[in-house]
Every structure is written in structure tokens, then in C-alpha cells.
Amino acid sequence: MRIQKNFSSLSLKTSLLSMKAFGYDLQRELIPANQRMIKHDYEELATSVMNIVDRIVHKTHEKIESATDVLKAILKPVVHEEEEISWPPRDPEALKLMEKEIVQREQEGQLDEGFLAEVNAQLRQSKEDGDKPGLEAMLQKVLQLYASIKLSKKSYAKKGNEVLKAEQFLETIIKAPEEEWNKLLIDGLTVGKGEISPEEFYAVIKKRIERILIRTEGGSYQQRILTEYVKGIQSRTEQLVQLLRGNPQ
């Protein structure tokens, strides 16, 4: 019985030692396996990241191409490949077609930051080259039409049943072509033939710029183009007021 008991005890100890040894070997084997799994996970993650980057680059390239195509479509009525670019276009209807194209593209949501970046890049290049004044004027017109259309989408000329004449007058100027601003300002301001004082007009211009800054993304092309357009109206007004008051600068 004692021999059997000793044998059983020895067997138990041997089993425990074997299990301990096996556990040690298993742990030793598991560590490299875990490392291999982690390495494999990192490789999969790296592959996924590269695929995402490739898709982003591809989409960005498509976006740039799309913006270029939109700009080409807008300029198509006023640009003829066989002729030198001139401005204003010889055919008055061409400008109307260009404006119609801009309105349609804006309604379709295609005049986004990518498009505005493309127009600005082309405009900057045209200014640097200095040999295509017609193209430069054409691109400026595209931005003016964009700003006019965008700013005309919401009216601030009514407060309840009251018509705010200064706001209404500003909106009339915003919608008008730049070449008509002088006549409209003379007819509308008290320094000319109108009823709105320059001070009232400057106040609504300031308010409109504040609205633009609040409602657009800071530093965006849209914000810059819209504020520059309204500031252009202010600058033209100041020049005209000085001239009509006999204090040209």
C-alpha cells in the first residue's frame, strides 16, 4: 500500500512537473505566435490605409478634373479655339449663355470650393503670364456672376411688412452687372437723384459683409469671393460719392 501510495505521489509530481514544463513551453510558443498575429494585423492595417489613401488621391484627381470641366463648360459660349480670347465677347448673346450656364451649375451644386479653387488658380496664372487680358477679365466675370447669383438667393429687404429701402437698393446693385453700377448708384443715392443717403448704404453693406462672414466657412474661397464682391460695391460707391460731392481722390 505504501509503495502504491508513493508511486501515486510520484506520478502526481511527475504529472505536475510535466504540466508545468508543458505550460512553460506553450507560453514560450505563444509569445512568438502573438507577435506574428500583431505583425499580421499591422500589415493588414497598413494595406487598408494605403488603399484609403489611393482612393482619396483618385477622388481628389477626379474632383480637379470635374472642376476644370465645369469651368470649360461655363466658358464655352465665349471662348472659340480658333480665335484669340477677347473681352467683352463680340456676340452679346454669348454672355447671356455663360450666365445661364453658371445659374444651372450653381443649382446643381457644382460651383463648390473645388470649382472656386480652379477659377482662382487659372486667374492667378493668367495674371502672372500677363499676355491674356481677355482671359483674366473673363475669369473675373465668372467670379462676379457667381457672387451675384449666390448673394441674390436670400433677401433681407423686408422686415415683416416693412420694406427696408437701403437693403432693397443693395440687392438691386448686387444683381446688376458691374457696368451698370454707376448709373444705379447715381439714381439711387441722395448725392445723385435718389433717396438713400451714402451713410445708410454703407451701413447695409457693412451688415451684409458681417452676414457673409457668419454664414460662410472662415478662410474659404466662397467667403473671400462674396466679401470681395460686396466690398467692390462699397469701393465703387465711395469713389462715386467723392466725385459727386466735388472731392475726387
> What are the residue ranges spanned by the domains of the chain?
154-249
Burial 141-178 (b: 16+ CB within 10 A, else e): bbbbbbbbbbbeeeeebeeeeeebbbbbbbbebbeeeb
Residues 71-92: pLDDT tens digits?
A: 999 999 988 765 667 777 788 8
Give pLDDT, residue 18. Answer: 46
pLDDT value at position 20?
Answer: 46
Distance CA 154, CA 200 (A): 20
Q: At 194, phi and psi to the nearest 5?
A: -100, -165
pTM score above 0.85: no
Residues 6+ apart with CB under 8 A from 94: 77, 78
Please tell me the predicted confidence (pLDDT) of residue 41.
60
Cβ atoms of 64 and 118 closer than 8 Å:
yes
What average pLDDT does this structure show over 191-205?
A: 97
Q: In the chain, where does DSSP find H-type helix?
A: 2-75, 92-107, 113-129, 133-151, 165-175, 181-188, 198-215, 221-244
Contact 171, 155 (CB under 8 A): yes
pLDDT tens per residue across span 17-61 = 444 444 444 444 555 555 655 655 666 666 666 666 555 544 555
Over pLDDT 90: what percentage of the chain? 60
